[in-house]
Amino acid sequence: MKKALITGITGQDGPWLAKRLLDKGYEVYGTARRNSVRNFYGLEYVGAVGKVKIIDMDLLDYSNIHDTLISVKPDEVYNLAAQSFVGASFKQPISTTLTNSLGVAYILDIIKTFLPKTKIYQASTSELFGKVVESPQNERTPFYPRSPYAISKLYSHWMMINYRESYDIFATCGILFNHESELRGKEFVTRKITQFVAKNSLGDKEVLKIGNLNIKRDWGYAKDYVEGMYLMMQSDKPDTFVLSTGVSTTIRQFTELAFSVIGKKLRWEGEDATEKGYDSETGILLVEVDPEFFRPAEVDMLCGDSKKAHEILNWHPKTTVEELSRKMVEHDIQLLNSV
Ligand code: NDP
Ligand code: GDP
């Protein structure tokens, strides 16, 4: 039985991946950092509570990581833990850097010294492309990070490649484009929209305040993307792969898709900071741009090219952005109805 250790088991991707690996017959360990209130909603949601062995581990603590890795001796480490919210990284650049950069350096060095046969997957990100220099973006596209988050991930990405090349470690990077799900963190724009739409469908009268509606992202479904992580780790050699859908959607379009799930159509007026979205039938104001959500430096558009993953891993995303927005809205309505 193979052993996998997933860091960041309380996040979005951790539970989806844990479920996938359990189904494959793995013994799965998941790390969570100490919190005043523990929340394993994600593991509950995917039906993996009690099946994943939980270990307390903080990426900022070398000896804690060392002891964890030495006691588990995993065949595969999936390093998903991170301060992953770009917006917060502008306000907390130092802690973001420590967690996202140093944490990876610690893990790599422990693997190099004590567990050279252990494979490691690092959660790299399309944010590395930032102010894109070409479109769509693939494994050869130059990086231009635009936030402390992206820069912290640039360091860990290159550390992975350096350890792969220097010490022959199986260190694989997935450059994943945005992927969402029913377990997405509530501050990310898709979940913020789907939660709002769910509340609206139950009669809430609030207006959705949002940042730049023209931004484009290549949104996929997290459950499809964890399959890609698993496939990368089964490949003959460590490498770097882009996972994306190749379809780029504006935030305005995503908002329209989410409202369409509850049968509402939007009519837009104004532009940029003055843009507003009205219910086309009743004329009620539903959406308004609020510059509070603008970022100091923005990533205007991302669109990925996953040809390499298609050809080498036979990985293909299965879920469209329409299906994704529907899953998220329906789940958020269900959650509200259950309280
Ligand atoms: P989440 O933000 O949902 O989860 C992050 C996890 O990391 C949480 O379990 C969190 O714990 C944990 N964590 C944060 N800081 C520490 C720390 N100091 N020590 C230990 N654990 C810590 O991220 P996702 O699941 O969405 O993403 C997984 C990975 O993929 C992340 O590294 C992210 O940057 C990367 N990524 C994600 C993309 C996406 O679209 N989702 C796209 C590209 C890359 P806690 O619950 O205690 O906060
Ligand atoms: P990111 O791609 O990892 O930064 O994921 P997010 O979901 O946080 O943001 C995606 C894009 O939506 C970014 O360009 C944000 O600036 C933009 N955006 C616009 N309005 C909002 C908002 O209200 N909240 C968030 N989180 N992002 C917003």
Q: Which DSSP string corresponds to 301-326? A: B--B--HHIIIII-------HHHHHH
- Which residues belong to the active site? 125, 127, 149
| pLDDT of 37 strictly over 90 | no
Domain 189-215+250-299+325-338 homologous superfamily, CATH: UDP-galactose 4-epimerase, domain 1 (3.90.25.10)
Across 51-73, b (16+ Cβ under 10 Å) vs e yields ebebbebbbeebebbbebbeebe
Mean pLDDT to the nearest integer, 135-159: 98
| CA 9 / ligand 1 centre spacing (Å) | 8
Distance CA 145, CA 126 (A): 9
Ligand 1 lined by 99 (C-beta under 6 Å): yes
Quote the pTM value. Answer: 0.98
Where exactly are the structural domains of the chain? 3-181+219-246+302-319, 189-215+250-299+325-338
Mean pLDDT to the nearest integer, 58-80: 98
| CA 197 / ligand 2 centre spacing (Å) | 17
Distance CA 59, CA 69 (A): 12
* pLDDT band (50, 70, 90) for residue 339: confident
Ligand closest to Cα of 82 equals: 1
Ligand 2 lined by 215 (C-beta under 6 Å): yes
Ligand 1 lined by 80 (C-beta under 6 Å): yes
Ligand closest to Cα of 174 equals: 1
Q: What's the confidence (pLDDT) of residue 38?
A: 82
Q: Is 177 exposed, middle or buried (0-12, 13-18, 19+ CB in 10 A)?
A: buried
Q: Is the N-terminal amide bond of 136 cis, ω within 30° of 0?
A: yes
Tokens found for residue 289: 């741009």
**Fold held by 3-181+219-246+302-319:** Rossmann fold (3.40.50)
Mean pLDDT to the nearest integer, 13-38: 96
Tokens found for residue 218: 């290549």
Q: What's the confidence (pLDDT) of residue 182?
A: 98
| CA 189 / ligand 2 centre spacing (Å) | 5
| CA 168 / ligand 2 centre spacing (Å) | 37
Mean of all residue pLDDT scores within the chain: 97
Ligand 2 lined by 178 (C-beta under 6 Å): yes
Computed on alpha carbons and rounded to an integer, the radius of gyration of the chain in Å comes to 20
Output the residue whose Cα is nearest ligand 2's atom 2.
178
| pLDDT tens-place string over residues 244-288 | 999 999 999 999 999 999 999 999 999 999 999 999 999 999 999
Q: What's the confidence (pLDDT) of residue 99?
A: 97
